Structure 1
Amino acid sequence: MSEITTVPDSLGSPAAPPDRKLRGNLGVVAIVFMVVAAAAPLGVIGGVVPLGIASGNGAGFPATFIVATVVLLLFATGFTAMTPYVDDAGAFFSYVRQALGFPAGIGVAFVALVSYVALEAGVYGLLGPAGASVLELAGGPALPWWLFAAAAFAVTTYLGYRNIELSSRVLGVLLTAEIAIVVVLDLVIVARGGDHGLSTGIVNPHAILSGSLGIGLLFAIISYVGFEATAIFRDEAKTPERTIPRATYAALILIGVFYAVTSWALISGWGDDGAVAHATGSGSTFLGDTARRYVGAVGADLITVLYFTSLFACILAFHNVASRYVFALSQRDVLPAALSRPHDRHGSPHQASLWISAVVALAVLLAVVFGLDPAAQFYTWFAGATTVGVVVLMIVTSVAVLVYFARDRRGNSLWRIRIAPALGLVGLLGALVLILSNLSDLVGGSSVLAWVIVSVLVAAFVAGAAVGTRVGAKVGTA
């Protein structure tokens, strides 16, 4: 352990040179906006929830969000307990490096980078068609999806280059708007008593255990991707020892309550059986149809617009996360040192941000050249990789927490550093089994593609660990 906790300055210790540190003044609210925006709540409500209702456990699906929230709160208990002892930004890989060694940490970093860049790129496949729908709604011509992706890409690249606080303000506005419209829809449905009374499926054991509970849990777990990125903003946060844990808990609880309540309200809006039937037959328009039924055409049109902005917010949030992973890796001399020089005026990881933009641009360009369907192929394939990658990251981080506190509790209770992380680990392992068992369905029914995704993630870890071993050996930490 001692050789891990005394990493030299060149590997990003607390004494790292000031000119390789990001600058910012983010509080709890700003970080919560960042990570909740990454989870794309309106995108989940409009896309994942109908799938969970149709393919999962029907009227009992809202309860799976409660289960998922509990599992992730157990994970967060150990994650935040370790936060005061991880002095540098880097999120998961900093925690893993601290407990399991430098090579393992860099291997995890490579998996994280692949996972986050994949989702940032893939979401352009949803944003493009959504932008086309908004333009057509306004009476404009039908344009190819990649034009809207290109416009959003330009704005994302600009904001990623600037100070993080500008991005947080943009995300705050967009996130507030999308949550507000859905809350209004929820209140109208509840006030009108639903289709024929409010659903009891959320508390009915028979409904919760009906259909395919495993598929329901799978869709619930993947809806939280993004919440775990709170720690990547450590260098730009005010009093990170307090801000990061508070932001992590707040983001999880906000997401969990929003998903559970809204999915319950949507089911109530059609009735238990009617919701399952409508989600099965018209899943892609489920949210819009519900809005049109309860708040009229104007409300439905507004949701169409906010769905587009929700996807943009998701892209911007993941771009910021991925840029900071690149910055943190370059601080440790794993990537070129030039990428860890913050902008003189903005204090942003501008070079790392441009590097991520280049990779994403290449991915989108290849999707256009090869004629991939933007949603059914481009987004689905990349989102499948992200889902597996992020759950694996949380599993390894849970192990790191248990190892780190194995010999010294550092004044923490057994619940916080052993029992809760262990229970969270069990829940995450169960989620991984569900995801891998159904991965071929998630990526369009191709078992070959599912194996390719897993192989890419394994290769990323192996490559990262090899690089970590080489870099660590130079300074005597491997």
Structure 2
Amino acid sequence: MTSQQRQQAAQRLRGNLGTFDIVFTVLAYNAPLTIIIGLIPVIIGMGNGLGAPLTYLAAGGLMLLFAVGFTTMARHVPNAGAYYAYITAGLGRSLGLGSAFMAILAYTFMLIGAYLYVGVTFSTISLSFVGLGKLPWWQWSLAFAVIVAVLGHFRISLSAKVLSLALVCEVIITFVWEAAVLQDGGAKSLSMSWLTPEVMTSGSIGLAVLFGVTCFAGFEATAVFREEARNPEVTVPRATYISIIAMTVIFASATFCFILGWGPEAALDKSINDPSNAGMAVIEMYLGNVGVSIVHTLVCSSIFACVLAIHNILARYIYSLSVDGVLFKSLSVVHPAHESPYRASGLVAVITILSLIAAIYSGVEPYAGYASLIGIAGYTLLILQILTTVAVIVFFIKTRNSVSNMKTKVAPALALIGLSATAWLATENIGLLTGSESVAHILLAFLFGSLLFGCVYAIRLKRSAPQVYKAIGRQNI
């Protein structure tokens, strides 16, 4: 082995993540309990009403179609760059690098938005038992940013344990509440007469599908952690499918029980007129004050697990680009003891804290800022899924292989149709998605500007640094 090969091997991440370690990271990223309490009433009230459970099933089916091509591509492009690597392999290095910068900015927006939501949630907690009372939102956000920075410095298995514990508790309390609703018979018996095919297309089906698909964003993390996975050829595809199926079951069953718990008419009324309190109120109806207290605690742990998961994903994107030489090589150094991308993680922590300080001094209203950043980041990840699907189709058209057309062309083509329709609906409703048309346009300018910058930068690298250009997309490391 040459000295260069030894150096490259030393830069590789290592780990022993199992299927469920990765699954828990993905599910923690999506913060299921937060979605159940905060988003289900929105989908019912602003979307297609009582057809919301079917919307989640349809969104889950679309994600499974996407996953067919995504996991098939993973076997032929065994790199940890996920969308970045796949778009490069299928559509070229220029668009691949542009998509990587776009993904990094999207995850940064999502991380900052999540920290703003941390502040909103925890600022209601009184610390009178230690003589402090309630703290302002920004103190909570900065404190959690420091804690996540510390965890991100260590081996990924430590973060995985934290995420697993938080997620298991979330899922248990969710199913306990659902069991209580079903055992009690709901508000008006367990009749399903209201769940008809017609309700699927009632109200605003466009917004419903848009919000539903957004809830599944981020499962590319299954491929981002490839280098740290145990037997990735098996672990990554298995974790991808389990994650999507688990999210579909959790979201669809919770929406169904939300409607049963209130009763169809009351569920519509509460979702339209009081969406911010409807989720917690129906939990209190069946689990009482003790259950609500537990849920409040788990919502806090859910949000913490979410920011930790996003931090780890973003750090590994930066690590991948630095290994390729696109970013500073010093960011690709792996910690000798913890085997973590600690410098990339440290950079994410610095960016996070500086962004929060900028938000504090600019007087950003935290909840409005959260809604705008999360909305536009979800939209961007949807665009990246479309590019990835096109890349899968093009890659397998150009590459001879023995994989069936169903996996390489038919399923990706169906996914492309569904994702494109969803993106069109998202574009038509971009103001509702972010809370402000003007803010949406500014954020979109940054995101598509990052795509263009990456494409131009790749062209420049082709002339000035051909070896770095060849490595784009984790193609030659």
Q: Which range, TM-score by smaller chain?
A: over 0.9
Structure 1 residues not aligned, in runs of 5+: 1-8
Find the aligned partners of 2:269 and 2:128 in 1 and give their Cα distance: 27
Q: How many residues align?
A: 465
Residue type matched to 1:393 in 2? L
1:47 aligns with 2:38: yes
**Secondary structure at 1:17 match in 2:** helix
Structure 2 residues not aligned, in runs of 5+: 471-477
Are the counterparts in 2 of residues 73 and 249 from structure 1 also a CA contact under 8 Å?
Answer: yes
TM-score (norm 2): 0.94
Match of 1:457 in 2: 447
Counterpart of 1:375 (choices 367, 378, 381) is 367
Match of 1:204 in 2: 196
Match of 2:57 in 1: 66
Residue type matched to 1:214 in 2? G
CA shift, 1:160, in A, is 0.5
Counterpart of 2:327 (choices 328, 332, 335) is 335
Match of 1:390 in 2: 381
Are the counterparts in 2 of residues 32 and 251 from structure 1 also a CA contact under 8 Å?
Answer: yes
Match of 1:176 in 2: 168
Match of 1:237 in 2: 229
Match of 1:319 in 2: 311
TM-score (norm 1): 0.94
Query: Once the two structures are superposed, what CA deviation does each residue of 1:249-293 show, in whole Å capped at 9, x if it has no partner?
Result: 000000011000011101110011101111222211222111111
Query: Once the two structures are superposed, what CA deviation does each residue of 1:326-346 show, in whole Å capped at 9, x if it has no partner?
Result: 000001111000000000100
Residue type matched to 1:307 in 2? V
CA shift, 1:16, in A, is 7.7
Match of 1:475 in 2: 466
Are the counterparts in 2 of residues 58 and 272 from structure 1 also a CA contact under 8 Å?
Answer: no
Match of 1:422 in 2: 413
Are the counterparts in 2 of residues 107 and 463 from structure 1 also a CA contact under 8 Å?
Answer: yes
CA shift, 1:324, in A, is 0.1
1:251 aligns with 2:211: no
Are the counterparts in 1 of residues 104 and 317 from structure 2 also a CA contact under 8 Å?
Answer: yes
**Secondary structure at 1:196 match in 2:** coil
Find the aligned partners of 1:452 and 1:194 in 2 and give their Cα distance: 45
Match of 1:361 in 2: 353
Query: What fraction of aligned residue pairs are identical, expressed as a percent?
Result: 35
Are the counterparts in 1 of residues 382 and 419 from structure 2 also a CA contact under 8 Å?
Answer: yes
Match of 1:6 in 2: none
Find the aligned partners of 1:128 and 1:180 in 2 and give their Cα distance: 25
1:351 aligns with 2:337: no
Are the counterparts in 1 of residues 68 and 407 from structure 2 also a CA contact under 8 Å?
Answer: yes
1:268 aligns with 2:260: yes
Are the counterparts in 1 of residues 221 and 313 from structure 2 also a CA contact under 8 Å?
Answer: yes
Residue type matched to 1:471 in 2? L
**Secondary structure at 2:340 match in 1:** coil
CA shift, 1:138, in A, is 7.8
1:193 aligns with 2:210: no
CA shift, 1:371, in A, is 1.5
1:99 aligns with 2:90: yes
Are the counterparts in 2 of residues 202 and 208 from structure 1 also a CA contact under 8 Å?
Answer: no
Are the counterparts in 1 of residues 376 and 443 from structure 2 also a CA contact under 8 Å?
Answer: yes
CA shift, 1:409, in A, is 4.9
**Secondary structure at 1:405 match in 2:** helix
1:28 aligns with 2:19: yes
1:215 aligns with 2:207: yes
Cα distance, 1:201–1:99 mapped onto 2, change above 3 Å = farther
Match of 2:158 in 1: 166
Match of 1:38 in 2: 29
Are the counterparts in 2 of residues 57 and 210 from structure 1 also a CA contact under 8 Å?
Answer: yes
Query: Once the two structures are superposed, what CA deviation does each residue of 1:157-196 show, in whole Å capped at 9, x if it has no partner?
Result: 0011100000000000000111111110011001111100
Aligned-residue Cα RMSD (Å) equals 1.9
CA shift, 1:383, in A, is 0.8
CA shift, 1:466, in A, is 1.7
Match of 1:5 in 2: none
Are the counterparts in 1 of residues 50 and 195 from structure 2 also a CA contact under 8 Å?
Answer: no
Query: Once the two structures are superposed, what CA deviation does each residue of 1:92-123 show, in whole Å capped at 9, x if it has no partner?
Result: 10111112221111111001101111111101
CA shift, 1:432, in A, is 0.6
Cα distance, 1:199–1:331 mapped onto 2, change above 3 Å = farther
Counterpart of 1:226 (choices 218, 233, 241) is 218
Are the counterparts in 1 of residues 44 and 52 from structure 2 also a CA contact under 8 Å?
Answer: yes
**Runs of 4+ with deviation above 6 angstroms:** 136-140
